[in-house]
């Protein structure tokens, strides 16, 4: 009898332990004086199907609801805002939304953040040409003009022109400050930037007024899942620089670029294929932390739900140096039945790095 009671006790204890380990904890700052940047991966698979569009809007709604709680100072998006830039007759399989509806959906989702928090959206290969970067024609500026979000306008410091000679946010620099006064310059560069854009970017980061800023560069295609700089891709755009050329021509020669963020990469339902990370040293002797994060082929592959709602929370700690990275899904977090799936906790999903 005692043996039976003991077995029952052990069984109950183990059950309680497993329940406790699976208990959901909502996102919160690890230090009340930290601030956060939210990193949104490529939205293209969310917006190409009507059924998926509310999922991306759920993500931006979650951000809006947590601006004060997480002290969110900036949102960045890695590009490929749409699946096709200028498609009027979708086949129903690769997408069931014409391009105008895709742009309207992604623009509408970001509207939730207008007048709430500044956001910087990269332009990806799918945001150019007809289907994917056959040329540099883009509807980006129509749907993401400088006055779309007044807080973007306030943070804007530098801008240059797209291939058509129009100044747009495809290539622009924004300024934010930490509570302790550390100044950040967020440098947004077009997909596979042209030589003239890299030259402009180098002039900007070398300006006397930005020499003491920590530069965070955002661009779409840069780092592979093998943690290597992408050398070349077979798109139709001319005068194109990919990851290695961007690093060699801009990042390495700089003295103040200390972070590079990108997206673009992925494979069906393979988390590791959607991310990369590496550290190099720039000409100033400072470490450059480079992170690729995407999710577009998770949740059912290229024709799935768009990415299972995954985003990254980058918490900038009060020491003004340490950045804690966590990977979270508002989609899984919304229901008690799936909240145990809302955090990815492998070493590649939650880690820290130092800005010098």
Helix (H, G, I), strand (E, B) or coil at 56: helix
Q: Does the pLDDT value for residue 1 go beyond 90?
A: no
Q: What CA–CA distance (Å, rounded) separates 96 from 81?
A: 16
Q: Is the pLDDT of residue 64 over 90?
A: yes
**Contact call for residues 263 and 80 (beta carbons, < 8 A):** yes
In this predicted structure, what is the pLDDT of residue 179?
86
Q: Pick from 208, 217, 209: which is nearest to 246 by CA?
A: 217
Residue 53 pLDDT more than 90? yes
Per-residue confidence band for 22, with pLDDT thresholds at 50, 70 and 90: low
177-218 confidence digits (pLDDT tens)? 998 899 999 999 999 999 999 999 999 999 999 999 999 999
- pLDDT of 98-156, one tens digit each? 999 999 999 999 999 999 999 999 999 999 999 999 999 999 999 999 999 999 999 99
Separation between Cα atoms, residue 232 and residue 346, nearest integer Å: 30
- Any idea which residue has 């920590």 for tokens? 214
| 8 confidence band (pLDDT: 50, 70, 90) | very low
pLDDT of residue 295: 98
Residue that is written with structure tokens 């620099």 in the block: 173
- Cβ contact 222:243 at 8 Å: yes
101, with CB counted inside 10 A (0-12, 13-18, 19+), is middle
Average pLDDT of span 31-54: 98
CA distance 353 to 261: 14
Q: Give the number of other CB atoms < 10 A from CB of residue 40.
A: 27
Average pLDDT over residues 315-325: 97
Q: What is the pLDDT of residues 218-266, one digit of tens each?
A: 999 999 999 999 999 999 999 999 999 999 999 999 999 999 999 999 9
* Residue 55: closest CA among 64, 46, 43: 46
The token pair that represents 83 in the structure block = 């699946």
User: In Å, what is the CA distance from 323 to each residue of 27, 122, 280, 314?
Assistant: 16, 21, 17, 6
The DSSP element (H or E) to which 124 belongs, if any, is none
Q: What confidence tens digit (pLDDT) does each residue in 333-342 have?
A: 999 999 999 9
Comparing 350 with 23, which gets the higher pLDDT? Answer: 350
What one-character-per-residue DSSP string does 129-159 give?
TTTT-SSS--SHHHHS-TTSSHHHHHHEEEE
DSSP state of 223: B
* Under 8 Å between Cβ of 76 and 124: no
Helix H or strand E segment including 331: helix 330-333
pTM above 0.85, yes or no: yes
Q: Which two tokens stand for residue 355?
A: 């800005």
pLDDT of residue 80: 98
Which domains can be identified in the chain, with CATH numbers? 27-354 (3.60.21.10)
Q: Which of 80, 84, 131 is nearest to 264 (CA)?
A: 80
| pLDDT (average), residues 72-97 | 97
Distance CA 266, CA 302 (A): 9
- Which pLDDT does position 6 carry in this prediction? 43
pLDDT at 3 over 90: no
**In the numeric block, which tokens belong to residue 57?**
């809007």
Number of C-beta neighbours around residue 337 at 10 A: 8
CA dist 231 → 25, 243, 246, 281 (Å): 40, 6, 10, 19
How many C-beta atoms surround the C-beta of residue 93 within 10 A? 7
């Amino acid at each position: 009898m005692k043996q039976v009671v003991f077995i029952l006790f052990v069984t109950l204890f183990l059950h309680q332990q497993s329940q406790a380990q699976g208990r959901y904890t909502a996102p919160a700052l690890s230090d009340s004086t930290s601030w956060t940047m939210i990193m949104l991966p490529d939205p293209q698979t969310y917006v190409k199907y009507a059924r998926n569009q509310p999922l991306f809007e759920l993500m931006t709604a979650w951000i809006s609801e947590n601006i004060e709680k997480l002290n969110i100072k900036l949102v960045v998006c890695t590009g490929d805002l749409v699946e096709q830039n200028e498609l009027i007759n979708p086949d129903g399989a690769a997408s069931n939304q014409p391009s105008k509806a895709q742009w309207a959906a992604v623009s509408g989702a970001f509207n939730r953040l207008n007048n709430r928090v500044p956001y910087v959206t990269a332009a990806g290969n799918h945001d150019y040409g007809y289907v994917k970067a056959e040329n540099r024609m883009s509807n980006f500026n129509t749907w993401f003009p400088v006055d779309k979000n007044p807080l973007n306008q306030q943070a804007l410091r530098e801008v240059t022109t797209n291939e058509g000679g129009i100044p747009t946010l495809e290539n622009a620099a924004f300024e934010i400050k930490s509570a302790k006064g550390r100044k950040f310059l967020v440098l947004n560069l077009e997909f596979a930037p042209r030589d003239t854009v890299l030259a402009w970017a180098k002039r900007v980061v070398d300006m006397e007024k930005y020499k003491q800023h920590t530069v965070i560069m955002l661009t779409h295609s840069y780092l592979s899942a093998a943690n290597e700089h992408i050398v070349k891709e077979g798109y139709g755009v001319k005068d194109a620089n990919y990851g290695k050329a961007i690093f060699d021509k801009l990042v390495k020669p700089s003295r103040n670029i200390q972070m590079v963020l990108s997206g673009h990469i992925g494979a069906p339902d393979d988390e590791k294929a959607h991310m990369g990370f590496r550290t190099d040293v720039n000409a100033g002797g400072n470490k450059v932390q480079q992170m690729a994060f995407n999710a577009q082929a998770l949740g059912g592959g290229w024709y799935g739900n768009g990415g299972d709602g995954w985003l990254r929370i980058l918490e900038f700690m009060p020491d003004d140096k340490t950045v804690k990275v966590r990977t979270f899904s508002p989609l899984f977090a919304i229901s008690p039945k799936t909240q145990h799936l809302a955090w990815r906790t492998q070493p590649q999903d939650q880690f820290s790095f130092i800005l010098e």
